[in-house]
Structure 1
Amino acid sequence: MATHVYDQEVFDRSIDVKILRLRRKLGQHTGSNPQYIRTERGAGYVFDSVVNVDELRTRGH
Structure 2
Amino acid sequence: LMATRVYDQEVYYRSIDVLIVRLRRKLGQDKAPRPQYIRTEREGYVFDSVVNIEELRTRRG
Q: TM-score, normalised by structure 1?
A: 0.70
Counterpart in 2 of 1:57? 57
* Fraction of identical pairs, as percent: 72
Alignment check: 8 A CA contact 2:21 2:30 kept:
no
Distance 1:20 1:30 in 2: 10
Counterpart in 1 of 2:41? 40
Cα RMSD (Å)? 1.8
- Higher relative helix content: 2
Alignment check: 8 A CA contact 2:38 2:46 kept:
yes
> Residue 23 of structure 1 aligns to a residue in which SS?
helix
Segments of 4+ moved more than 6 angstroms = none
**Structure with greater Cα Rg:** 1
What is the CA-CA distance between 1:39 and the residue it aligns to? 0.2
Unpaired runs of 5+ residues, structure 1, are 1-10
Unpaired runs of 5+ residues, structure 2, are 1-11
Q: TM-score, normalised by structure 2?
A: 0.70
